[in-house]
A and B are shown apart, each in its own frame.
Chain A
Amino acid sequence: MSDALKQSLDLSMFWEYRAILWQGLIFNVLVFQFAASVALSVGLGAALLRVNRFLPARIVGTLHVELFRNAPDYIMLVWVHFVLPLLIGLVIQRRVEFHPFISAVIALGFVYSGYFAEAFRAGIQTIPQGNLDAGRAFGMSERLILWRITLPQVVRRMLPEALNLFISLFKATTIVSLIAVPDLMYNVSMVIQQEMRPLPLYTGAALTYFLIIFALSSTARAFSERWRQKILA
């Protein structure tokens, strides 16, 4: 038993493959970046639908949020990768296939757009009506009010929540290895198949992710604490 412990803590093999593992980590970051932009823009769209005066728009926005917030990200990933191309193919009468990277970005982006929509909406609803009335009294268009009055305040208020969501999204990028996006976990399992030594490699992967996410989340926590004091003051 202590032999196995020693083996799993002997990370020299993990270090030996650092080049390919590093490449994998870059894929995690890429998926994260693209999915985060999708999640932010789609989430903002859904939030604006949810606060619209027009009832059908509100219904669509609510459906979007409930659908994606309640969906497990793994099943969405599999669905987007294996079902969505077939459905699009049926519509345009042509064979369609998604690159795994595209599927990963769409699936994670849309799942997290549900969470971001709620964060945006919570922020939008804290804006006092007087702010909007003042904007209208100056003759600003609704779009100008959104960009100059509402969003700057919303972004400031939702920042701590958004940081947490970004960290969750980064954690979720590890599952893209399951549809063969060559991320860190994918490369780890490839190396394991070659070397037949799961102990140091899985332990190394767990420690790597832990260190990265721990650093990110403690920074986010410290920052949010200061930020809250600043905007409440």
Chain B
Amino acid sequence: MGNWERLVWNQRDVLFAGFAVTIEVCVIAFLSAVIGGLVLCLVRLYVAPLRFVAVVLIEFFRDTPIFVQLMWVAYVWPEVFGFPNDFFTAGWLALALQSSGYLAETFRAGIESLPRGQLEAAFSAGMSPVQTFRRVVIPQVVLSSAPSIVNQFTVIVKSSTLISVITVPDLMSQSQKLVNVWYEPIEILTATAALYILFVFLISLAGKLIADRVRQRFGLAAS
């Protein structure tokens, strides 16, 4: 147990600093992915001239491995597009791009599963397209796709371990720094792995509980 205290407990500040960066990156990436996914989905469904562009972007984000995309965004984008200028931005941007592709398809499935009669009813009641979208479409899509949205957040957390490769000081990278200082990987890496697994487990548990409760409250069957 002495090793655990010396290598893990006494280094908790370093590890928690990394954990804070992990959470920060994941939350920024997740929020951007939700917005990006919504925009991609709406363009694909309703903006006919740009539909092809949206489809290509969605497929490209979904079908490229996250590690390859991360390297591409971190090393090619700054030269070609002039941003991102630091690795922190590159990290969350790559995570957000990939997830926005997945979320766009989740939202599209939710929107397309709505019965057409609902939209016709809303229009004949005199609602504008924006009102229909806000009052009829969005609440139902959010409810039906809530489990996939939470799941996407856990995917982001898992993929975020890779941003340590481009030297963002997240939990993974802090724990590898400790390993390089002490040359004793057993306790540090095991503790880091346990922390990640617990974190992802708790998110999916909380997500499932919240999704079930909200769905029950609004009269939808629990997942």
Contact = CB atoms under 8 A, between A and B. Distances in A.
Interface residues of B, number: 41
B13 to A, nearest CB: 20
A78 B196 contact: no
Given A72-B158, A82-B179, A203-B72, A209 B82 contact: no
B28 to A, nearest CB: 18
Mostly, the B contact residues are: helix
Contact of B80 (A4, A87, A205, A210): A4
B63 A210 contact: yes
B64 A209 contact: yes
Contacts of B145: none
A171 B66 contact: yes
Interface in A1-59: 1, 4-5, 7-8
Interface string A202-228: 110110011001100100000000000
B159 interface: yes
Contacts of B197: 67, 70-71
A86 interface: yes
B65 A209 contact: yes
B9 interface: no
Contact of B68 (A1, A178, A206): A206
A228 to B, nearest CB: 15
Interface of B: 59-60, 62-69, 71-72, 75-76, 79-82, 154, 157-162, 165, 172, 176, 179, 185-186, 189-190, 192-193, 196-198, 200-201, 204
7 contacts: A70-B154, A198-B76, A199-B75, A199-B76, A209-B68, A210-B60, A210-B63
The 3 A-B pairs with the shortest beta carbon distances in the complex, nearest first, are: A72-B158, A171-B65, A70-B200
